[in-house]
Amino acid sequence: MPEQKNVCHWYDETSAMKRAYDAGLIDRKWIEDYCWNGGNGCVRKRRFEQEGYVSPNHILPDGTVSEKLRGLRF
């Protein structure tokens, strides 16, 4: 976990992005730019909080699709 104080409250063991990062499936930049930045600009967070929509695991924080994650269970 980073030293920063602004970790998104959704970044926990249930977070698809945390699990993907911990498994080495996504680059650290996704976590640093979104999850360790309070979730600022995160499409996944916005959709969940505003629409109640849980994004599939293969949707990255900016809303793009990761073909690498598509179909994986982690």
Residue 14 lies in a domain: yes
Residue 73 lies in a domain: no
Amino acid 40: pLDDT: 96
Structural domains of the chain, count: 1
pTM of the model: 0.87
Residue 74 lies in a domain: no
3-state secondary structure 4-39: CCCCCCCCCCCCHHHHHHHCCCCCHHHHHHCHHHCC
Residue 19 lies in a domain: yes
Look up the domain containing 18 and give its range. 1-66
Residue 71 lies in a domain: no
Residue 72 lies in a domain: no
The tens-digit pLDDT sequence of the chain (74 residues) is: 555 579 999 999 999 999 999 999 999 999 999 999 999 999 999 999 999 999 999 999 999 999 999 988 87
Please tell me whether residue 65 adopts helix, strand or coil conformation.
strand
